[in-house]
């Protein structure tokens, strides 16, 4: 009988403690399901014992496959490596810290069997997150959906199931600045959601800090909206109109009442305000130019150092996919 297969995509960055815990939890769940599983771990340039731990797990269980990246590329790029290498009829990207509850896999698979292409895990409450993270995430979703036209499912993370068609669509997007949440939404497809409560990390520490989150948010906005650029055209137009009105007033006043020399305050105000506006608008354009620069360099999304557990032809395919 033909058995369909499911690939789990698990990016790992310094996760030596979490990996055995993760596999212990996931195995009984995978064994219950009528699918062939592969667990693709992407070692995102870890500096701890993650590669050794993964190798040991591969020796015990051939379903464990490993992609070692040549350095730390970040979670989004690590996931891209996994997506390119996945051979499953469905893929499920997951965090290794058990914050994506493995029990949910069964619910994902049931909805998939009902005919949905994409099944998205939605966090019911974000009690496990810090107050700061909840607040910033809430603001981000609000802003993003306003600026970029309501597309992101709020409180949906990477934890989801995609069928082969949805995955191929995602893999066909070549951009280097990878705001995966936005890319998922962009590809569309027939979607269902499953709600869950997100627990705290099982082991290890989060790799995110406020600065990384801010940069992530910037990548998100700039990849999906040119509104920040357009705002400056409108603002420039408004300032220009005011400027012309003021100029007309000055001309008329000078013609009828002559020159009056004092004017230091108004000159300074105009100069400072305009100078500030020009600098901000340059900065915003710069953000976009920087990203254009990133894209035009056309570098691969990630570099694979070596892989464990893949067939030779799969490895060859992946080298092309990265490009």
Per CB under 6 A, the list member of 74, 82, 121, 182 interacting with ligand UDP is 74
Q: Considering only 107-115, 203-211, 234-242, 300-308, which stretch makes contact with ligand UDP by CB under 6 A?
A: 203-211
Residue-wise burial string across 272-307, b where 16 or more C-beta atoms lie within 10 A, e elsewhere = eeeeeeeeebeebeebeeebeeeeeeeeebbbbeeb
Among ligand UDP, Mg ion, none, the one that 78 touches (CB under a kind-dependent 5 to 8 A) is: ligand UDP
Q: What is the closest distance, in whole angstroms, from the C-beta atom of residue 110 to ligand UDP in the complex?
A: 25
Q: What is the closest distance, in whole angstroms, from the C-beta atom of residue 226 to ligand UDP in the complex?
A: 28
Q: Which of residues 15-34 bind ligand UDP (CB under 6 A)?
A: 15
Maximum separation of any 2 CA atoms in the chain, in Å: 97
Interface mask (CB under 6 A) for ligand UDP, residues 32-71, using x and -? ------------x---------------------------
- Is residue 97 a contact residue for ligand UDP (CB under 6 A)? yes
Per CB under 6 A, the list member of 4, 5, 72, 171 interacting with ligand UDP is 72
Is-contact 179 219, C-beta < 8 A? yes
Distance CA(282)–CA(288), nearest Å, equals 10
- Is residue 14 a contact residue for Mg ion (CB under 5 A)? no
The runs of H, that is alpha helices, within the chain are 18-32, 50-60, 75-85, 104-113, 131-147, 164-171, 180-187, 210-224, 227-257, 264-297, 312-321
Q: What is the closest distance, in whole angstroms, from the C-beta atom of residue 13 to ligand UDP in the complex?
A: 3
Among ligand UDP, Mg ion, none, the one that 57 touches (CB under a kind-dependent 5 to 8 A) is: none
Is-contact 10 98, C-beta < 8 A? no
Return the sign of the alpha-carbon dihedral for residues 146, 147, 150, 151: negative
Beta carbons within 10 angstroms of residue 125's beta carbon: 11
Output the DSSP codes for 81-139.
Answer: HHHHH--SSEEEE--TTS-S-TTHHHHHHHHHHTT-SEEEEEES--TTS-HHHHHHHHH
- Is residue 96 a contact residue for ligand UDP (CB under 6 A)? yes
Per CB under 6 A, the list member of 6, 8, 9, 12 interacting with ligand UDP is 12
Q: Which of residues 266-295 bind ligand UDP (CB under 6 A)?
A: none
Q: What is the closest distance, in whole angstroms, from the C-beta atom of residue 212 to Mg ion in the complex?
A: 13
Among ligand UDP, Mg ion, none, the one that 74 touches (CB under a kind-dependent 5 to 8 A) is: ligand UDP
CA-closest candidate to residue 81, choices 169, 168, 11, 185: 11
For Mg ion, the closer CB: 95 or 158 = 95
By beta carbon distance, the residue nearest ligand UDP is: 11
- Is residue 75 a contact residue for ligand UDP (CB under 6 A)? yes
User: Which own/partner pairs from 187-191 qualify as long-range (CB within 8 Å, at least 24 positions apart)?
Assistant: 189/117, 189/118, 189/162, 189/163, 189/165, 190/115, 190/116, 190/117, 190/118, 191/116, 191/117, 191/118, 191/119, 191/120, 191/153
For ligand UDP, the closer CB: 207 or 318 = 207
How open is the CA angle 230-234-238, to the nearest 5 degrees?
165
Q: Which of residues 82-101 bind Mg ion (CB under 5 A)?
A: 95, 97, 99
Q: What is the closest distance, in whole angstroms, from the C-beta atom of residue 101 to ligand UDP in the complex?
A: 13
Q: Considering only 11-19, 164-172, 230-238, 239-247, which stretch makes contact with ligand UDP by CB under 6 A?
A: 11-19
Interacting residues toward ligand UDP by CB under 6 A = 11-13, 15, 44, 72, 74-75, 78, 95-97, 99, 206-208
Interacting residues toward Mg ion by CB under 5 A = 95, 97, 99
């Amino acid at each position: 009988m033909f058995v369909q297969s499911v690939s789990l995509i698990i990016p790992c960055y310094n996760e030596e403690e979490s990996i055995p815990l993760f596999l212990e939890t996931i195995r009984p769940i995978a064994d219950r399901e009528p699918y062939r599983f592969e667990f693709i771990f992407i070692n995102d340039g870890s500096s701890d014992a993650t590669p050794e731990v993964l190798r040991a797990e591969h020796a015990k269980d051939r379903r464990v496959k490993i992609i070692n990246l040549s350095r730390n590329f970040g979670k989004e790029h690590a996931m891209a490596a996994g997506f390119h290498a996945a051979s499953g009829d469905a893929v499920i990207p997951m965090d290794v810290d058990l914050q994506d509850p493995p029990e949910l896999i069964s619910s994902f698979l049931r909805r998939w069997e009902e005919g949905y292409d994409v099944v998205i895990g939605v966090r019911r409450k974000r009690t496990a997150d810090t107050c700061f993270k909840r607040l910033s995430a809430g603001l981000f979703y609000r802003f993003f959906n306003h600026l970029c036209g309501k597309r992101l499912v709020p409180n949906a993370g990477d934890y989801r199931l995609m069928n082969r068609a949805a995955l191929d669509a995602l893999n066909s997007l070549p951009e280097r600045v990878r705001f995966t949440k936005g890319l998922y939404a962009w590809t569309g497809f027939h979607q269902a959601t499953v709600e869950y409560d997100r627990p705290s990390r099982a082991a290890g520490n989060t790799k995110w800090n406020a600065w990384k989150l801010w940069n992530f948010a910037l990548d998100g906005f700039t990849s999906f909206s040119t509104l920040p650029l357009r705002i400056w055209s409108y603002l420039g137009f408004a300032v220009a109109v005011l400027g012309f009105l003021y100029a007309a007033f000055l001309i008329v006043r000078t013609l009828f009442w002559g020159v009056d020399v004092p004017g230091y305050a108004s000159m300074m105000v105009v100069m400072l305000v305009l100078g500030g506006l020009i600098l901000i608008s340059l900065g915003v354009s710069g953000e976009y130019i920087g990203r254009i620069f990133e894209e035009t360099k056309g570098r691969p999304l990630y570099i694979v150092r070596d892989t464990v557990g893949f067939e030779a032809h799969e490895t060859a395919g992946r080298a092309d996919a990265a490009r």
